[in-house]
Amino acid sequence: KVPLTAVPQRTAISHAFGGLAAGLVGTAKFVLWSVYEPEELSQFRMAAIVAEVLLGFLTVTGSLMAAGKLQEVKWIPQRPVTYPFQNVSNIGLLGLAVLFGVLLVLNPTGAGAGYLFAGVILLALAFGVLLIIPIGGADMPTVISILNSYAGLSAVAMGFVLDNKLLITAGALDGASGLILSIMMCRAMNRSFANVLFGAFGQVQAVEADSQQRHYKSETIEGAAQVLEQASLVVIIPGYGLAVAQAQHRVRELYDQLTKAGITVKFAIHPVAGRMPGHMNVLLAEAEIPYSDLIEMDEINADMPQCDVALVIGANDVVNPAARTVKSSPIFGMPIIDADKAKTVFAIKRSKSPGFAGIDNELYFQDRTFMLFGDAKAVVGDLAKHLAGGGGH
């Protein structure tokens, strides 16, 4: 059984296997037809095989790299890896693979066809790795959607190779849905496709110098529970830390205690919170939080100035005011949940380390923000217990 925290990695690995299947089928068909039935290897079929192999194999290595980053595998760098002329070299690599493919289409059974085909495979595998290493963890939900789209498109090409209309239809639906979801998520971050794929988002920049002189204000569980008891509107903002701690059921207990006391509770859902599309919705649905209380970012932001307490659980970059004001920040321009506009902010965090984008969160240093350090499951559970035994609203 895969834990919910590992579902993004599991999804990426599924895409890798889908791409591998397409790539291997394309390779098998090329070898079979070129050796035994060269008359079957028409230019159209060769074009479909090239597309299938190129998309399939770049999806394999790209998805494995994405899964490795999410799993924090030691030999895969978590931060974006950049080097001079990176985008030029990547585009050149892809262009070379396409050139090999065009040469194959023009002469599918030529003397050097086997070498060209092997070149397409190797270049696709290399391109998949080089495509993902400059992308930071904050963009992983979008990257997984894009890889899903690539896997679907490789299935479409496989359908043309095998003359399978069902495969073409299913692959087209998969590819289109992945593409549409990617576009929607890019819009949610106020960024373009090209910026996600080539912008090295999440790169650590030189904005950390004064964090050493700044200090958090912390609060006790008892103090936070007392403030929650006096609130009329509480907005809970979940993030990846909620998934890591498996705290969704404790959040349900806290939700029950607050609503029992007559306090209105809403959940603010950022489109890219977590590590895959809909990550927070899945977690909260598992804990049977009413769907009507899950509010999207654009809608909840209008209520934040009236919010008495914003409870940030494991979210970081999606509530960072630096996205509005600090032009040097890698998240500048990304729409965020306006937690800083609430009257009081409690932020539950495992440690003082920055989020996946690698930068300090300006929210944590503001006057109205109080930190509750510790495991989210334990902290939320303690808050629920204090509210249960501490009287009504």
Fold of 210-389: Rossmann fold (3.40.50)
Q: Which of 139, 317, 338, 360 is catalytic?
A: 317
Residue 271 has what pLDDT? 85
Residue 30 has what pLDDT? 96
Residue 308 among the catalytic residues: no
CA angle at residue 234 from 305 to 293, to 5 degrees? 105
User: Contact at 8 Å (CB) between 187 and 311?
Assistant: no
pLDDT in tens, 180-226: 988 888 877 777 777 776 655 444 444 444 445 567 899 999 999 99
pLDDT in tens, 325-384: 888 777 778 889 999 999 999 999 887 666 555 667 889 999 999 999 999 999 999 999
- Domain residue extents for the chain: 4-198, 210-389
CA atoms 193, 87, 145, 333: torsion sign: negative
Residues of the chain with pLDDT below 50 are: 201-211, 391-393
Residue 325 has what pLDDT? 86
Does the global pTM surpass 0.85? Answer: no
Task: Match 């700044």 to its residue by tokens.
Answer: 214
